[in-house]
Amino acid sequence: MSLPELSEALSSFATVFLGIFVEAAAFLMLGALASGLIEVFLRPNDMARLVPRHPILAAGVGGLLGLVFPVCECGVVPLARRLVRKGMPMSAAVAFLLAAPVFNPIVIASTLAAFGLTPVFFGRVALSLGIAVATGAVFAASKDPLALLRIQEPVLRPTGASLAAAFILDAPTETALAKAGRVLRVAVDEFFDMGRFLVLGAVLAGLMQAFIPSTVVLAIGGGPVTSVLVMILLAVLLSVCSTVDAFIALAFAGSFTTGSLLAFLVFGPMVDIKSTLMYAGVFKRKAVAYLILLPLLMTTLAAVFINLNTTW
């Protein structure tokens, strides 16, 4: 690589890195702030009351929580971890973790603006929710789901001393200013805890985009199967926030199949470079593997099926 080419690649790396980090950091902060609010104002018995005990129903409710907590893939990780610590079943937390980056009002609106009421819009929403709920149900089959977490402190449960402690923490004697201070402290801790993985993920995504020509990836993007695989790879490499990825996918609408566009829009918000590193900071390796492979297999099968059986 010549000096001008290296200079151009480094410039591209800096642009991509800053673009990903600046875009994602704001949403990570929103997720961290929501995490702080949950820690201070939500008692463990609240989660036990709101989420069904049946693992499949719990996963379904978890998949719908994005409508209440509109966070992208950067902000959802600390929020999901906090919900688990507050007593949310693992199946619901995993479904929320995977569905919320798409199944929330902001992303639904951006996808509608980009594609309108088309099969791509409806397919993205339906597939994201279905794959997230199915993955959450798989996690419910674990004998000890909490053993999959890399949590240092004990998870709060809605019984015994932890419940009493929760009532003490939220006692009326604590002033609103004190509670606000606790919210901010938790939010800052969560932001810096997850932020290191965001920085590393942005660096890796920037390096890949700068030194792997996009023409190489796109040149093999024809066909019902290869186009899906290429768009999944592109989604991972780009690591674009789910709030804007619909407009990027729209640029490929003229040359790529509907199934491959859906693969980009469904798998990317669930698994990309930065979110994978964030998962590794919350879950153990086995759980991270399931969080990657299950959505990958289901997204690929659904996208290829659409390509082979529709004329959209």
Concatenate the DSSP letters of all residues of 162-178 into one string. HHHHHHHHT-TTS-HHH
Is a pLDDT exceeding 70 seen at residue 48?
no
pLDDT in tens, 95-147: 999 999 999 888 898 889 889 999 999 999 999 999 999 999 998 887 777 78
- 79, 69 Cβ separation under 8 angstroms: yes
Give the Cα separation of 72 and 77 in Å (integer): 9
User: What integer best gives the mean pLDDT of the chain?
Assistant: 81
Q: So what's the pLDDT on residue 271?
A: 92
For residue 193, name the pLDDT band (cuts at 50, 70, 90).
confident
Q: So what's the pLDDT on residue 168?
A: 41
Listed residue (253, 19, 239) closest to 116, CA to CA: 253
pLDDT in tens, 50-104: 777 787 888 999 999 888 877 777 778 888 887 887 778 889 989 999 999 999 8
Q: Residue range 209-221: average pLDDT?
A: 70
HEC secondary structure over 120-158 = HHHHHHHHHHHHHHHHHHHHHCCCCHHHHECCCCCCCCC
Segments making up each domain of the chain, as ranges: 3-309
Is a pLDDT exceeding 80 seen at residue 38?
no
